[in-house]
């Protein structure tokens, strides 16, 4: 499936995060018949594919909070309400990252659903809707493999890109759970307009770099400040006899709004740092760890976290998934829920937004789930269902959950998806 192709092309290690519990790996539908006589541009356009997915879920909360919000959860924020998370269509052409020559492609994807509330770009789609179900351009990029700089070349991606940092993707087929970790919601960026590159230095070493307008911003007045941001990092592949992959990715730039911080928004930097290690214990068992540190000069806020994952593909179509997380919000300024459908993007822009927040808190979260996935035909289509049980708790005595009544919150639910 080419649904999060640029991300997996940029960071091949992240495809392993799905820890066996993802639903990726199903072929998209070719739009044109292959021909042995086609050459040049005709051969290229015959490689264009179409893919689609529908994903819907629920996150039930027995405590039934009065405001209907599962605190600390974006995707499953509405307690005890089923919702359409994503209906997405993707038109794409893969690039060949192994060729000695040039290879060009693209990815165009539009997504409609409740998830889109959190993945807008300022000035493009953030003011188009005020309902729970919204539409976004989740990908609009050109991709290229270029035989430059090293023998193995460089992969480049430019346009509207899903952010590469972190282990949990917008595409639900590329993550093991319906709900996100705190780290995946509050300490990594979501979407960019910019350019990313992976320089394949050796079969073991990839250098990662990129520049963009900022997290979920565009240009000019559509940017919340006038300073750029960028990435730098490295991936170490094929360690421990091919069982271990390590990626360190850092991001730095101004992310705060001029509306809230005036001209200081251009000088106050935000630093995001993420280190992941993915170890294939056996062909059916994968262990993953993620360390994250984020600091914002303007907000004078920082977070630290560690997330661990374990997956066990114990039957052909069944995978057990575990996620455990400790997340520290040192100021109480980062973990929040937005109480209106436009609230999150209003906050990115620096506009006022009704929120539910908590004092400085150390959060612990444990999530257990099982993924059932099967193909719909020999070559195309899939169906998957992912029930999960989750327990969140404050580890320092605060009461952030269920309308600030409880130090812990129990939820259960999951999602179902179908696609091609």
Q: With 70 as the cut, is the pLDDT of residue 16 above it?
A: no
The mean per-residue pLDDT over the stretch 338-362 comes to 93
Segment 29-41, tens digit of pLDDT: 888 877 777 777 8
**Residues in CB range of 262: below 8 A, 6 or more apart:** none
Work out the average pLDDT over 344-364.
Answer: 94
- Measure the CA–CA gap between 66 and 88, rounded to whole angstroms: 32
What pLDDT was estimated at residue 24? Answer: 60
Partners of 371 in beta bridges: 319
User: What pTM does this model have?
Assistant: 0.91
pLDDT tens by residue, 39-70: 778 888 888 999 999 999 999 999 999 999 99
Cβ-based neighbour number of residue 64 at 10 Å: 11
Strand, coil or helix: what is 138?
strand
Q: What is the pLDDT of residue 126?
A: 87
Q: What is the CB-side half-sphere exposure of residue 234 using CA atoms within 13 A?
A: 6
Instruction: Indicate the DSSP class of residue 342.
Output: T
Q: What pLDDT, on a 0 to 100 scale, did the predictor assign at position 9?
A: 38
């Amino acid at each position: 499936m080419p649904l999060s192709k640029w991300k997996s092309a940029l960071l091949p290690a992240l495809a392993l995060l799905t820890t066996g519990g993802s639903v990726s790996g199903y072929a998209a539908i070719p739009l044109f018949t292959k021909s042995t006589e086609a050459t040049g541009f005709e051969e290229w356009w015959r490689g264009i594919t179409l893919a689609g997915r529908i994903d819907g879920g629920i996150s039930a909360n027995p405590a039934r909070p009065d405001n209907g919000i599962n605190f600390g959860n974006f995707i499953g924020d509405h307690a005890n309400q089923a919702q359409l998370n994503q209906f997405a269509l993707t038109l794409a052409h893969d690039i060949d990252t192994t060729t000695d020559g040039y290879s060009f492609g693209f990815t165009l994807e539009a997504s409609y659903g409740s998830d889109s509330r959190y993945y807008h770009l300022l000035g493009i789609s953030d003011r188009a809707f005020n309902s729970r179900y919204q539409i976004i351009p989740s990908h609009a990029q050109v991709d290229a493999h270029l035989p430059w700089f090293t023998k193995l070349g460089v992969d480049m991606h430019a346009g509207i890109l899903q952010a590469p940092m972190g282990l949990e993707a917008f595409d639900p087929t590329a993550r093991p759970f319906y709900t996100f970790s705190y780290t995946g919601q509050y300490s990594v960026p979501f979407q960019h307009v910019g350019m990313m590159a992976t320089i394949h230095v050796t079969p073991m070493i990839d250098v990662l770099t990129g520049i963009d307008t900022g997290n979920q911003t565009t240009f000019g007045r559509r940017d919340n400040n006038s300073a750029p941001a960028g990435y730098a990092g490295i991936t170490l592949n094929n360690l421990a006899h091919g069982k271990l992959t390590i990626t360190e990715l850092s991001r730095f730039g101004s992310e705060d709004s001029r509306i809230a911080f005036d001209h200081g928004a251009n000088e106050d930097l935000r630093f995001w740092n993420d280190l992941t290690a993915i170890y294939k214990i056996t062909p059916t068992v994968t262990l993953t760890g993620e360390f994250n540190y984020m600091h914002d000069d303007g907000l004078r806020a920082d977070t630290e976290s560690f997330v661990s994952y374990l997956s066990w593909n114990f039957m052909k179509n069944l995978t057990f998934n575990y996620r455990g997380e400790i997340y520290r919000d040192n100021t109480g300024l980062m973990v929040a829920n937005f109480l209106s459908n436009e609230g999150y993007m209003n906050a990115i822009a620096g506009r006022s937004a009704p929120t539910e927040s908590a004092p400085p808190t150390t959060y612990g979260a444990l999530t257990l789930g099982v993924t059932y996935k099967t193909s719909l035909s020999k070559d195309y289509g899939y169906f998957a269902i992912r029930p999960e049980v989750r327990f969140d708790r404050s580890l320092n005595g605060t009461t952030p959950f269920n309308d600030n009544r409880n130090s812990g919150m129990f939820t259960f639910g999951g999602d179902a998806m179908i696609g091609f």
